[in-house]
Structure 1
């Protein structure tokens, strides 16, 4: 089992089939909250749906095409963070993430994103990471902005969200940016 301890209360663990019930319960408890910005919530109706998602993420990891990890807070599953695949030819990827409603405001996602970014640049030797966020999702917009990503543009009407199209901002972080940011932190 893959684990990455971020601090005394936060760790990342690869999602495994044994986490199916926990993942479904977290999704179900936060269903209305998550539905505002995530298009997959309505199609996650049963524990089997969460199991199929996890099985797909395990294949993704085995195919060296990224991963999906649970964000664990004080031993409880709080959310998910992962890569939307890896473009090895261009050494780039994009990060996706979500937290259950009761876990908001604790710095979990900023810390989890920082750990994934560090992993992508140092272990995977990638050159670029993107985060795409709905332009009106203020909580999610704060994450790439805190972590030094540059807003590179706006994709108009890029995602169908139940009853309307939403625009996304595209944020990018290059390895050069990452090294410069970390140099100033030392």
Structure 2
């Protein structure tokens, strides 16, 4: 476990998380499909989620990508996930992607989880700059970035291509220990 509060815990993804992770992703497909299409595609069934966890565990061992799971402290539910990706170890930089289930949105939990995960990543992995990319219409994600201490850096043209849509401009937010 990398973090614990009265409401939730955060830990690295583990094989025992398969059922609850699959439940989170499948039950929130409509919310997550636009910005997490690859993750959803890799988790359509319980078996595919087990395979996803195996791949992501190996990826973490190789320090290529890390998946953190947010567990509700009062149930067995996984309420969200944070993916640390696009790691550049020379630049000491990485990017967060995240999602939270519809039952838990709007409560400030993801902002607290991003802050906690940022602290862990900086202290334990040695990263110095963390990024969040969000579309301008995804106000909950933008608010999470800002409340987590990330600062807007600019707009990246045609940065992300959702399924069956034209490429989207994305807003870049960064948190750096240098500033």
- 1:54 matches 2:56: no
**Structure-1 residue corresponding to 2:24:** 26
Question: In structure 2, do the counterparts of structure 1 residues 85 and 42 end up closer, same or farther at CA, with 3 Å as the change threshold?
Answer: closer
Structure 1: tracts of 5 or more residues without a match? 178-186
DSSP 3-state at the match of 2:178: helix
Question: In structure 2, do the counterparts of structure 1 residues 146 and 97 end up closer, same or farther at CA, with 3 Å as the change threshold?
Answer: same
For residues 41-84 of structure 1, the C-alpha deviation after alignment (integer angstroms, 9 at most, x for no partner) is: 35532222222221121012111234211101123210111210
Size of the alignment, in residue pairs?
175
**Structure-2 residue corresponding to 1:140:** 141
DSSP 3-state at the match of 2:156: strand
Question: In structure 2, do the counterparts of structure 1 residues 38 and 82 end up closer, same or farther at CA, with 3 Å as the change threshold?
Answer: closer
**Structure-2 residue corresponding to 1:170:** 172
For residues 12-66 of structure 1, the C-alpha deviation after alignment (integer angstroms, 9 at most, x for no partner) is: 1211122111111111111112224322235532222222221121012111234
Task: Using the TM superposition, give the Cα deviation of residue 135 of structure 1 relative to its aligned residue in structure 2, in angstroms.
Answer: 2.0
RMSD: 1.7
**TM-score between the two structures when normalised by the length of structure 1:** 0.86
Structure 2: tracts of 5 or more residues without a match? none
Taking the TM superposition and a 5 Å limit, the aligned residue runs for 1:79-90 are 79-90=80-91
Contact 2:95 2:131 in 1 (8 A): yes
Inter-partner Cα distance in structure 2 for 1:7 and 1:99: 17
Moved over 6 A (4+): none
